[in-house]
Amino acid sequence: MNIFYKINNLSFKAQKYVFFLFIIVFSIGIVEALVLSPADYKQSDSVRIMYVHVPSAWTSVGIFSVIAILSLGNLIFKNKYFLTIAKSLAPSGLIFNIIALVTGAIWGRPTWGTWWAWDARITSMLVLCIFYILYILSWRVFENKESVNKITSVISILGLINLPIIKFSVEWWTTLHQPASITLSGSSIHSSMLLPLFIMTAAFVLFSVLIFLMKYNTELIKIKNKGLDRI
């Protein structure tokens, strides 16, 4: 059986299970983040913003990477399912990007004394947000299937160039934003703060999976609606 048919069948069944799993993980994450985790010795309780800011930034960058890879895959293999999956991932990616920008601004006020700075990390995240908006708008604006496939693929592949800039901006330029605290070689964050951070990341990933499944099912029913017209 084709793998995409398996995904189609699974997507309908998985939706409610993912929803309940998300509620459980998110509830644990919220309690950990707001009550159980300690305050930072320098930033005090404002550090708790990290538990929504960092996972949303990670998820948003991760989703765009997947969208770009799928778009590249579509250009090479000409498979319509790649684009349907990519299109279904975009809304949650955009929301996480907006959450990262807004919570970053809120965190910036008590930490840096300003809501916004044209800092390399913040600006590159704003550029990513623009790419997300362009990507989603293209699906709405262009009606010709061939054109929309090409345009959305080009936007996501161009946006891919921005991802290493986001990642390394804090090393390449002098920025207000702090360098990465979690790297492949280790973490400078204490385990009492790492645990809620990872739980919240898991919850955010589950939420994006839930939205993806709902959007993918919508797209699938849309395609099948057109199929019913032809029967």
Partner 1 sequence: MTIEIISMNGYGLYVWSSFIFTLTSFFALYHVIKIQLKKEQEKFKAKYFDLTEEKTESVKKQKTYKEILAFTNISKI
214 binds partner 1 (CB under 8 A): yes
Least CB distance to partner 1 at residue 58 (A) = 14
User: Least CB distance from residue 75 to partner 1, whole Å?
Assistant: 25
Pair 139, 130: CB distance under 8 Å: no
38 binds partner 1 (CB under 8 A): no
Q: Does 65 bind partner 1 (CB under 8 A)?
A: no
Shortest Å, Cβ 161 to partner 1: 27
Q: Does 69 bind partner 1 (CB under 8 A)?
A: no
Min dist CB 159 to partner 1, Å, is 20
- The answer to whether the beta carbons of residues 85 and 216 sit under 8 Å apart is yes
Q: What is the SS3 assignment for 183?
A: strand
27 near partner 1, rule: CB under 8 A: no
Q: List CB contacts of 86: < 8 A, sequence separation 6 or more.
A: 66, 67, 70, 71, 74, 152, 156
Candidates 50-58, 59-67, 137-145, 188-196; binding stretch for partner 1 (CB under 8 A): 50-58
Angle at 161 between CA 157 and CA 167, to 5 degrees: 130
Q: Is 92 in the site for partner 1 (CB under 8 A)?
A: yes
Please give the Cα distance from 203 to 199 (Å, whole number): 6
Residue with tokens 């589950």: 206
3-state DSSP call for residue 41? coil
Under rule CB under 8 A, residue 228 binds partner 1: yes
Neighbours of 44 (CB within 10 A): 10
Q: Is 211 in the site for partner 1 (CB under 8 A)?
A: yes
- Residue 129: CB minimum distance to partner 1, A: 13
The only residue of 109, 130, 178, 179 in contact with partner 1, by rule CB under 8 A: 109
The DSSP-derived string for 186-224 is: EESS-HHHHHHHHHHHHHHHHHHHHHHHHHHHHHHHHHH
Contact residues toward partner 1 (CB under 8 A) are: 5, 8-9, 12-13, 30, 33-35, 39, 44-46, 48-49, 52-53, 56, 91-92, 95, 98-99, 102-103, 106-107, 109-110, 207, 210-211, 214-215, 217-218, 220-222, 224-225, 228-229, 231
